Amino acid sequence: MAKEKPISSTTKRSYWRWSKTDFFPETSFQTLSSYKTALSQTCPRLSDRLLARSSSTDELVTLQKVSENPMQKCLTWWDLIWLGFGSVVGSGIFVITGQEAHNNAGPAIVLSYAISGLSALLSVFCYTEFAAEIPVAGGSFSYLRVELGDFVAFIAAGFNLLDPLAVVVLLVANGIAMSGTKRTSWLNWIASLVSGAVIVFVIVFGFIHAKTSNLEPFFPYGIEGVFRAAAVVYWSYTGFDMVANMAEETKKPSRDIPIGLVGSMSGITVVYCLMALALTMMVKYTEIDVNAAYSVVFEQIGMNWAKYLVSICALKGMTTSLLVGSLGQARYTTQIARAHMIPPFFALIHPKTGTPVYATLLVTLISAIVALFSSLDVLSSVLSFSTLFIFMLIAVALLVRRYYVKDVTPKNDLVKFLICLFITIGSSIGVSALWNSNERGWLGYTTAGLLWFFGTLGMAFLSKQRVPKVFMPLMMWLTKMN
């Protein structure tokens, strides 16, 4: 056979044809001799990769050439708000609210949602700055790769691809996601509009049939119960990070991403609080059905037909979460392929639809296998851990981006930064450990709180190495709180 000619940057080829270089692009795989030479250098190569960091230019320019065709910039801040709504608002709000109001918080469940919403917004602020400065498809993978290195990004990528998904709905959702980003955005907008109408109905009729006497006592389980419930309902806010993965297809990322992320999460927090308040005012918290709170409470007031609306809204929540999740995960995988951590074949963008078809097919296959053969309880536990783990890494990466630039930051400043960072992380872990050990003594919390405060204050006096494109007041303090 004639030797295959390499494909130049100017040569056009069919999207559905590929070559050896799409799967094995490195020179190490060209001949047996070069492979043996590369194999003998495995240890030093791994050592280099542990500490290697990418750059914003590589993520924004160099790696995108691997995809051959560009993604279509077709999304606005309005699209992103609805994508955020679709990815976050799922069926959980209709189940978790009743459970936590009945078991932990009582009518104060509204405060639990407010606290969790504020906590989620702290992570949103971190994603906002990164997405505005590095508007690529990789989301947290790219942010971590630039600031904390390839190894940390690769570990986080493995966690982020774990997600319990329903196979049949998954296949349909991914099929839609491959057809085009704008089309998928429109379908999500329509579905979310239907869901929004049902939520408005629940809130309005909830307040019409509300009784203020049901709010007494407001704190039946005390403040501790409010925070216990807040830790659980926090998972009703996850999924917003998928919006950051759409940055490469956004028309004006520096403007649209902040509006889309902050706007959607602020609106969702208000909606959740109103829904929780309506539920606890319609029925006494002790009488809330923990399995189907909203459906049962509408039956109790004689509106049996309303339970079907609630069921439709819950089904919509599952489908749009899968739909937006398919978009985000495929783009996440695309950036991993661009970095050659998996074959670059999966980074190719379809010339007509402007979507990563191969990456979407890969995500579909992996997710279907996981959904079919894994325990939901185990996956949920892993997902809970991985979500918090990635949010923590993003906060650390943002601080590194602000205060450290390789070969620029003085060594003394770097040492001071690391000391302040470790003090803050250590004190945060201390507070968490005290809470989980059920120790309620003031001494431990006071000590950990003071360490956190002085660690954060010390970092405030360090000179910043970068000026962010998106101004956010008290950003360093908010990042440390996150």
3-state secondary structure of 196: helix
- Look up the pTM and report it: 0.78
pLDDT tens for residues 377-434? 555 556 667 777 888 888 888 888 888 888 788 888 888 889 988 998 888 888 877 7
d(C-alpha 465, C-alpha 23), whole Å: 39
d(C-alpha 482, C-alpha 471), whole Å: 18
d(C-alpha 264, C-alpha 374), whole Å: 32
DSSP 461-476: TSPPS---SS--TTHH
d(C-alpha 173, C-alpha 190), whole Å: 15
State which residues of the chain have pLDDT below 50.
1-10, 162-165
3-state secondary structure of 375: coil
d(C-alpha 329, C-alpha 161), whole Å: 7
Position 161 scores a pLDDT of: 52
Q: Burial, 242: exposed, middle or buried (Cβ in 10 Å; 0-12, 13-18, 19+)?
A: buried
Position 390 scores a pLDDT of: 83
> Domain residue spans in the chain?
77-390
Position 3 scores a pLDDT of: 42
Sequence-separated (6 or more) residues with CB below 8 Å from residue 439: none
Q: Burial, 441: exposed, middle or buried (Cβ in 10 Å; 0-12, 13-18, 19+)?
A: exposed
Inter-axis angle of helices 306-338 and 92-100, nearest 10? 110
Q: What would the two tokens of residue 123 be?
A: 């992570």
Contact 246, 267 (CB under 8 A): no
Position 60 scores a pLDDT of: 76
DSSP 153-181: HHHHHHHHT-----HHHHHHHHHHHHH-H
Q: In one letter, which amino acid is 382?
A: V
Name the percent of the chain in helix, strand, coil, to the closest 5: 75, 0, 25
3-state secondary structure of 382: helix
Strand segments, DSSP code E, in 37-95 are: none
CATH number of 77-390: 1.20.1740.10
Q: What would the two tokens of residue 457 be?
A: 């204050």
d(C-alpha 39, C-alpha 61), whole Å: 30
- β-partners of residue 75 are 250
Contact 206, 110 (CB under 8 A): no
Instruction: Encode burial over 122-159: b for 16+ CB neighbours within 10 A, e otherwise.
Output: bbbbbbbbbbbbbbbbbbbbbbbbbbbbbbbbbbbbeb
d(C-alpha 259, C-alpha 138), whole Å: 19
Beta-carbon neighbour count of residue 4 at 10 Å? 9
d(C-alpha 346, C-alpha 365), whole Å: 13
Position 383 scores a pLDDT of: 66
